Structure formats: structure tokens, C-alpha cells
Amino acid sequence: MPTPKNDPAPPASEAKNPIQVIDRMMKLLEVLAQHADPVPLKQLALETGLHPSTAHRILGAMTQSGFVERSDAGVYRLGIRLLELGSLVKSRISLRETAMPLMLRLHAATGESVNLGIRDGDEIVYVERTSSGRSSVRVVHIVGARAPLHTTATGKLFLVEDGLERIRDYARRTGLPASTAASITSLPALEKELDRVRRHGVAFDLDEVEPGVRCIGAGIRDDSGALIAGLSLSTPSERFNPDWAPLVRETADEISRALGHAPPHAG
């Protein structure tokens, strides 16, 4: 929508400073959030103190990205992208708050580090961790750390969820790079490994991300049944105990139930 002819040009002080633009975007979003009904441009400009042409330009950019919607009548309201992002933030906050007490319980039972990881594209990102304090062995599972799907216990859980065709796409796309000499680097070996994960409901990382560090992972599901995270227990290789696998899986299942997941009954 062009700037009305009787509106003067925006003052020269309205330079395209990125921080200033973000501040104005936030003002526009806040005003839109205060109104239950769509708001005309003139009213938005008045309530934010912005020049109409400035408000129109910023609203146009936010409309393209889905943060704002503009109707044929030229009025604006908050866009669906905000709902999507809000749901994502809510699910992650809920996940971490729900998981941490049970992670601490698993940590107390084993004395080892417990990690919470989520998928981001072709990598796992660790969003929470309890530290064992028992070893000087450096582990990659620190908050914010990333590792490839095919080398991590949690990543293998997500690859199983993808199905065969998408697993092959992942292998072609990434080339299955090695992090250590123990990393899986061929599609046949990866498919064999993922078949074991599928059958047992737990996944292992045996020195595949970092030499001397092993992990056991189990999946966490939300109320819709979607796999949203992985719980993993990481230990120095000399303390690795595969008998902890059922405890890791039971803890992950308990977190899933707390998030509203109801597993289907057998039979």
C-alpha cells in the first residue's frame, strides 16, 4: 500500500539502523498484541509513534516472514509464524523443566553425566546436562554442543524415526563423516546399527563422537507421540555399563509420560 499523498516523507533521523528497526518491529508487535481485532496502518503508526511510511515498510517485511498478516482491507494482525514459534518455545521449556528432576534422579542412581538432546537438522544439540564430577574425561555433551546424528546415541534414535529413504538421503547429504576411528562411515553399517536400535528401543555411542566416551540413549516423546528429544547417559569408556540401558529407557519413558505421551497398548 503506497504512502498516502498528504503524508510528508519520513524525517531524515529515521535512518535504517538495524537495532532501531528491531526496536520498531517490537513496538508494532506489542501494539498488535494489544488489539483483538485487526488494526489499520494509520492507527498502528499513531500508537507506535512511527511515521506511516516507516510502519508500512516494516509491516511489509514482517508480513513476508509470516510474523504479521495483512488483509485485503489493509488492516494488520499478528501472524501464524508467532504461534508456531510460541508453541516451539513452550514445548522446549516444558521439556527441560519436566526432564531435569528425572535426569537428576538418573544421575544420582548411576553417578554419571545425563544429557538432554534435541534435533536441529542433521545434528543433535545438547540443551541440558548434569555433570558427573567424577572424571576429568572431557565429553562433548555440554549445553549447546553439537554432534552429527549418525555418531550419537540420541541422533541414531532420530534417524530410526526418519525411515529408510530419509536415512539414505541423510547419508548422501552428509557423507557420514567420521569423528573418531570408531564412527560409522558407511550406509550398510549405519542401517545395521539402526536396525538394532529399532529392535531394542535404545541406542549406543561407543567412542564414536569422542575417544574414551560412551553413551546410552533413549527417546522422549510428546503427547502426540512425536520423538522430540533423547535422554542419554555418558560415561568414560572404562566405566561403561550396558546394564544401565533399561534404566535409561525407563527414565526416558517416564519423562514422556509426564509430557502426556500414552504408549499404545500391546495386543
Task: Locate the domains of the chain by residue range.
Answer: 20-78, 88-259
Poorest-pLDDT segment among 208-217, 237-246, 258-267: 258-267
Average pLDDT, the chain: 88
- Per-residue model confidence (pLDDT) at position 141: 54
Look at residue 133 and tell me whether its pLDDT is greater than 80.
Answer: no
Q: Which residue has the higher pLDDT, 107 or 267?
A: 107
Poorest-pLDDT segment among 125-134, 148-157, 177-186, 208-217: 125-134
Terminal-residue alpha carbon distance, the chain:
61
DSSP three-state, residue 243: helix
Instruction: Label residue 267 by pLDDT band (50, 70, 90).
Output: very low
Over residues 58-102, the pLDDT tens digits come to 999 999 999 999 998 889 999 998 888 887 777 777 899 999 999
- Per-residue model confidence (pLDDT) at position 1: 44
Distance CA 220, CA 158 (A): 10
Q: Which CATH class is domain 88-259?
A: alpha beta
**Among 201, 103, 188, CA closest to 150:** 188
Cα dihedral 254/205/127/130 (nearest 10): 70
Residue 145, burial from CB neighbour count under 10 angstroms (0-12, 13-18, 19+): middle
Over residues 176-198, the pLDDT tens digits come to 999 999 999 999 999 999 999 99
To 5 degrees, how large is the angle CA 92–CA 142–CA 115? 55
b/e sequence 188-199, b meaning 16+ C-beta within 10 Å:
eebeebbeebee
DSSP three-state, residue 240: coil
**Among 86, 87, 21, CA closest to 59:** 21
- Per-residue model confidence (pLDDT) at position 180: 96
Look at residue 138 and tell me whether its pLDDT is greater than 90.
Answer: no
Chain-centroid distance, C-alpha 135: 29
Distance CA 252, CA 230 (A): 8
- Per-residue model confidence (pLDDT) at position 10: 52
Report, at the CATH architecture level, how domain 20-78 is classified.
Answer: Orthogonal Bundle (1.10)
- Per-residue model confidence (pLDDT) at position 107: 94
For 121, how many CA atoms within 13 A lie in the half-sphere containing its CB? 5
